[in-house]
Amino acid sequence: KTVTINDKGTGNASVTVDATAGGVTVLDAKTLRCGATIYNSGTAAMRCAPTTVTVTSTVGHLMPAGATIMLGAEAQQAWKCIRTTGSSTTAEVAEATP
């Protein structure tokens, strides 16, 4: 197994989650991914969902600052997040592949 950190972040840095319409991609779809975590490392809340759901400031799984989503095989989908307040936040993403 291999772990990749912040693949969508510039130089593997935290992924900035802002108010981009439809959300910011934090995980691309990968059929071989066997697990992933999305951690809200910023100070503002965000909402996240697979790309089959259009995230908005009121739609998606609510992640307050410090919250984590742990995904198994469902992590094979692409995931997007969006901030819920006037301030951007950051996401830390770790993904496991064989």
Residue pLDDT, tens place only, 28-86: 999 999 999 999 999 999 999 999 999 999 999 999 999 999 999 889 999 999 999 99
Taking phi over 0 as left and psi of -120 to 50 as alpha, with beta for the rest, 52 belongs to alpha
Buried-state track 29-42, b at ≥16 Cβ within 10 A, e below 16: ebeebebbebbbbb
Which two structure tokens, joined as six digits, stand for 48?
A: 């996240």
> What digits encode the pLDDT tens for the residues 2-31?
999 999 999 999 999 999 999 999 999 999
This prediction's pTM: 0.93
CB atoms within 10 A of CB 79: 28
